[in-house]
Amino acid sequence: MRTRTIVLAGFVTVAAAALALVPPPSVRADNATVAFPDGYRNWTFLHSSLVPGAFGAFSKMPCVKPCTNGIFHFYANELAMKGLRSGAYEDGAIIAEEMLEFKIGENGTGGEGRRVLAAVMVKDAGRYASTGGWGFGNFDEGSKTNTLDAKAQQACFQCHVARKDNGYVFTRYVER
């Protein structure tokens, strides 16, 4: 049996797709308040999505290094977990995402490679009022400096507006 279905849980797909559509910023951050999510590997793992190199969106917007194709893992800190369950996010809630190289072995199985980037959304209703109360960050491989300037963070937010009724959050946590 080959597991292949047409319908995906939309917002999970969109979450990864949205990141894939955001071009790498060309300038350094002018907002250093969004910090690298130290310790996120010990937070609650939410889910994974896979964006292959052949992902359709890249035909509309050619992939520029670092290309945002790979395996995406999403994590939430305790306050974000509380928000994922209630729909309301308190200041301090953080959702982290890491994009890893997706490697395919000789036998056809796939696994993880190096971390290409980490991304984050940090809730602070006052500080980030112009972007729905969320500050957005991107951290290239080996760096803890946010590469997203104010314009790039607005671009993140404009996509997340579609999830206004969900606290601007695309990701989810499935109990099982």
> Which residues here bind its own copies, judged by CB under 8 A?
1-9, 12-13, 16-17, 41-42, 44-45, 47-57, 63, 65, 67, 69-71, 73, 75, 98, 101-113, 115, 174-176
Least distance to its own copies, CB of residue 153, Å: 24
> With respect to its own copies, which residue has the nearer C-beta, 149 or 173?
173
User: 143 vs 34, 139, 146, 173, CA distance in Å?
Assistant: 13, 6, 8, 28
Q: What angle do CA 98, 103, 106 make, to 5 degrees?
A: 165
How far, in Å, CA of 20 to CA of 17, rounded? Answer: 5
Q: How many CB atoms lie within 10 A of CB 95?
A: 27
Least distance to its own copies, CB of residue 175, Å: 7
Least distance to its own copies, CB of residue 1, Å: 5
How far, in Å, CA of 95 to CA of 77, rounded? Answer: 7
How far, in Å, CA of 117 to CA of 145, rounded? Answer: 11
> With respect to its own copies, which residue has the nearer C-beta, 17 or 153?
17
> With respect to its own copies, which residue has the nearer C-beta, 73 or 160?
73
> With respect to its own copies, which residue has the nearer C-beta, 5 or 126?
5
How far, in Å, CA of 113 to CA of 132, rounded? Answer: 33
Least distance to its own copies, CB of residue 105, Å: 4
Alpha-carbon dihedral angle through residues 48, 88, 157, 49, given to the nearest 10 degrees: 10
Least distance to its own copies, CB of residue 26, Å: 19
> With respect to its own copies, which residue has the nearer C-beta, 13 or 31?
13
